[in-house]
Chains A and B, each alone.
Chain A
Amino acid sequence: MNMIQVNGDPLAWSAGMTVRDVLTLRRFTFPMLVITVDGDLVDRKDYDTAPVPDGADVQVLHLMSGG
């Protein structure tokens, strides 16, 4: 498969991929995020290590700071 979904859009998957990798690839630099991988909430402190499996459904919810 070698593909994941991030907020409904496809992103190429690679072995050993972490949540931090997803954020970097999608340029998600916003500091107030709520992230789930296949429905499981990922704690902010685990972004660097939390694995993202092939085929995963990743939701990166940005809160509404600013405005």
Chain B
Amino acid sequence: MSSNTIQADYPQFHRCEVDFTTRTEYVEGMEALKAAHQVLKEWTFTPSLPERGYTNRTLYLNVGTLEIRERPVTQQMKDVFTGGRGFGLWHLWNAVTPKTRWNDPENEIIIMPGPVSGITQYPGSGKSLVVSLSPQTEIPIDSNVGGYFGPLLKFSGYDGLEIQGKSDQELIVFIDGQKGLLRVETAPAEPVDSHVLAEILTHMYAEDEKDRVNISVVSAGSAAEHSLIGMLNFSWYDKRRGCIRLKQAGRGGIGTVFRDKKIKALVIRGPEVKGDLNHPKDFETIARTGIKLHKELRSNDPVQCLMRRNGTAHIVEIMDAYDLLPVHNYQYGSHPETHKIASYIWDQRCTQRTADGCWYGCSMACAKGADGVELRTGPYKGHRVTVDGPEYENAAGLGSNCGVFDAEYLLELNFYCDTYGICTITYATICAFVMECYQRGILDKERTGGLDLTWGNAVDDLEMMHQMARGEGFGKIAGLGVKRMKELFIRNGWGDPDLINDIGMENKGLEYSQYMSKESLAQQGGYALTNKGPQHDEAWLIFMDMVNKQLPTFEDKAEALYYFPLFRTWFGLYGWCKLPWNDVAPSDNAKTSEPAKIPEHVQNYLDIAGAMRGVKLTSEDMLNESARVYNFQRIFNIRMGKGLRVHDHAPYRSIGPVTREEYESRIERYEKELREQAGIDPAGLTLEEKMAATRKYRTDRYEKLVNTVYARRGWTLDGVPTQARVKELGLDVFPELVEIVKAYGG
């Protein structure tokens, strides 16, 4: 897609005037850094390309023992786990025991692009899934990420990379898929922050300027070393801008595991990317389906979501209008200053003269970037950088949820989260929590070491993050995450334990992402009834439930909480991005029987997956492929001592109004609910009595939803998959799974 085409499609917008080619450079002194490397191990392999989406081998590396070997991808792996997240979970299952903790050498970081990952014909087909035992939840976490590393790994010859062990020296792992060479090198001198490190290593390992597009770097950052919320950046070289760009495997603290293993970076040099490297069985179907979506994006995106201009940030003001934007730690759903961080601000602030796909061929191109951002704080103060984002989650989380309605500060917060290697969603929810604690006197300046965490104080918000990166002060405490902070604050006697537990927005140890769920029962389940913790990539049902009222009964909600998590799991098995599924829709989608599912796009995915593998796939096949992995992951959680009903408990802030002011802000809604649904006349009740009645009604309703969802999923009332369901899915080929569910009454 040429930049001229993008401009022509959106004539109503004016261009960003920032020079997008000027930024601070970090490659000076690169030769000295390289000279300090010592090769610890060199290993050769035969590069190969996939056939029908699979290379049929994965790469294992132990950074402690320096053992390197190939492992076969068996037919059973393909039949049961399909690929991507499924393969990752299977490898992790075999690597750990119920006693393994996140920082044990046995824990792994597994990067798995799925069988379609790397095709260039269909938008959003470059995703990798990263799996590890999470430092935050102590169960498996899966995080999907764009950038070039996964597809280039596949085109070098491997369906995935499995890293185990712990090093006692700082390492870089270099995989040269052109030469068939893997090198483990010490890297004592490189900085760890991602925007610097990825740029240096891209230049260091590319053979010439043209080769830079074949390099991708996986890295974390200095805050990942001192917190539990570390994330991984996956780079790609943006040749139009002449700089590296970053996409994030954010959730669950995988960057913390990465730095705990003393890995500074993984670097891949893949072959030159061409259009048919996955070698599908039926290339024509994939090409034809892709052309159809490219045309649809070009004609419909300008009148639908404007993803190609604003990315997911297009919904900031929409969420506000529907009273769903998280404001002040999810207390409220809208704010008078939202217009300062709305999509039209980002439209002007992000560079629009360049295509922004995080993998080749993605004409949705939503990986927006703000160029020429001059930093005002921290170790890079005065530097001029390109910020990847903000996406919706960053604008809403770092912005409205913390009361920061300043676009330039939001970009700086976004930038530092990325380069320090911490998850923006997680950091945002942490910051919102501590700001509310500050508001309510649970924290004060003495307890925060002088930080003034008043809503909207972006300067001290940034200072907290810089402290996290330095491993000092209150920032280090914040880096423990909401769950552990709640325990600490209660232990210290800093506030009412019930209030602290109610307002701390975490489930299973993972922080909520940035949608306000309290007025949508289905979304409450969509968050808390997940395998990995409350991330919106399983089931985003707010509109269906709260606005459309399409899910009036518990059974309707349970059906949605059956279908959508499985559908979304499927993206992670194959290596797809979710966004082209439903951030653009065919012109005649409204005439279909189930427009919410975008049936034409679902069929596109079935056609492409089938064409890749040489099989005919139906919707039922899709759900079964996902259900095998989804239930396997649930049983994995149980094996690790979690995964039961008690772990699906939701904090009350996600279910209803915790405080008087929250209740009063929507008093009409709550009193109507009491009258019409709970059968309680609020007249004559005190505010406290009305709040208690609302709480009881809503909590009971949540528990009833849990019962209904578990039944639909084939689980017991304690959340354990039944033996019958395990057998139905064919998972009984693994006797250990049967033994686990049996032991827990399944």
Contacts and interface: CB of A to CB of B under 8 A. Distances in A.
B582 A63 contact: yes
A67 B536 contact: yes
A39 interface: no
Which of A34, A41, A64: most chain B CB closer than 10 A? Answer: A64
Given A63-B598, A65-B315, A34 B590 contact: yes
B181 interface: no
B406 interface: no
Interface in A8-67: 8-9, 27-32, 34-35, 41, 44, 59-67
B286 to A, nearest CB: 25
B205 interface: no
A27 B318 CA distance: 9
A2 interface: no
Interface residues of B, number: 34
B317 interface: yes
Contacts of A63: 543, 582, 585, 589, 595-596, 598
A7 B548 contact: yes
B550 A61 contact: yes
Contacts of B598: 63
B317 A29 contact: yes
Nearest to B523: A67
Given A64-B540, A64-B543, A31 B305 contact: yes
Contacts of A60: 547-548
A66 B319 CA distance: 10
Contacts of A34: 589-590, 595
Given A60-B548, A64-B543, A66-B312, A29 B318 contact: yes
A31 B306 CA distance: 9
A30 B596 CA distance: 14
B43 interface: no
Contacts of B39: none
Contacts of B305: 31-32, 65
A55 to B, nearest CB: 19
Contact of B548 (A29, A31, A61): A61
B388 to A, nearest CB: 18
B392 interface: yes
A31 B303 contact: yes
Nearest to B319: A66
Contact of A64 (B304, B317, B392, B544): B544
B591 interface: yes
A28 B318 CA distance: 8
B603 to A, nearest CB: 17
B277 to A, nearest CB: 31
Interface residues on A, range: 20 to 34
Given A61-B596, A64-B596, A41 B591 contact: yes
A65 B582 CA distance: 5
A31 B439 CA distance: 36
Interface string B485-521: 0000000000000000000000000000001000000
A23 B328 CA distance: 28
A30 B585 CA distance: 13
Nearest to A67: B540
Given A27-B321, A27-B322, A31-B305, A64 B582 contact: yes
B211 interface: no
A8 B551 CA distance: 12
A59 B318 CA distance: 19
B537 interface: yes
Nearest to B581: A64
Nearest to A62: B543
B583 interface: yes
Interface in B588-606: 589-591, 595-596, 598
A59 B595 CA distance: 13
B549 interface: yes
Given A7-B548, A34-B595, A67 B537 contact: yes
B590 A41 contact: yes
Contacts of B550: 61
A41 B578 CA distance: 27
Contacts of A9: 549
A8 B540 contact: no
B571 to A, nearest CB: 12
Given A61-B595, A66-B315, A66-B583, A7 B537 contact: no
A9 to B, nearest CB: 8
Nearest to A66: B315
A9 B548 CA distance: 10
B465 to A, nearest CB: 26
A30 B548 CA distance: 12
Contacts of A30: 318, 322, 543
A33 to B, nearest CB: 8
Contacts of B583: 65-66
A9 B537 CA distance: 29
Contacts of A41: 590-591
B595 A66 contact: no
A13 to B, nearest CB: 19
Contacts of A67: 515, 536-537, 540, 578
A7 to B, nearest CB: 5
B567 to A, nearest CB: 11
Contacts of B589: 34, 63
A64 B304 CA distance: 12
A18 to B, nearest CB: 18
Interface string B346-386: 00000000000000000000000000000000000000000
Interface string B453-472: 00000000000000000000
Interface string B400-418: 0000000000000000000
Contact of B585 (A27, A28, A32, A35): A32
B47 to A, nearest CB: 38
A9 B547 CA distance: 10
Quick one: which of A32, A41, A59 has the most chain B CB within 10 A? Answer: A32
Nearest to B548: A61
A29 B317 CA distance: 9
A31 B596 CA distance: 14
Nearest to A30: B318
Contacts of B590: 34-35, 41
A63 B590 CA distance: 10
B304 A31 contact: yes
Contacts of A66: 312, 315, 318-319, 392, 540, 583
A35 B589 CA distance: 12
B66 to A, nearest CB: 42
A44 B303 CA distance: 10
Interface string B527-549: 00000000011001101100111
A8 B552 CA distance: 10
A64 B596 CA distance: 7
Q: Max chain B CB contacts within 10 Å: which of A30, A41, A60, A66?
A: A66
Name the 8 nearest CB pairs between A and B, nearest first.
Answer: A67-B540, A62-B543, A34-B590, A66-B315, A67-B536, A34-B595, A29-B321, A7-B549
17 contacts: A7-B548, A9-B549, A27-B322, A29-B318, A32-B304, A32-B305, A41-B591, A44-B303, A61-B548, A63-B543, A63-B582, A63-B585, A63-B589, A65-B583, A66-B312, A66-B583, A67-B540
Given A59-B548, A64-B582, A64-B596, 7 more contacts: A29-B317, A29-B321, A41-B591, A61-B550, A63-B589, A63-B596, A64-B544
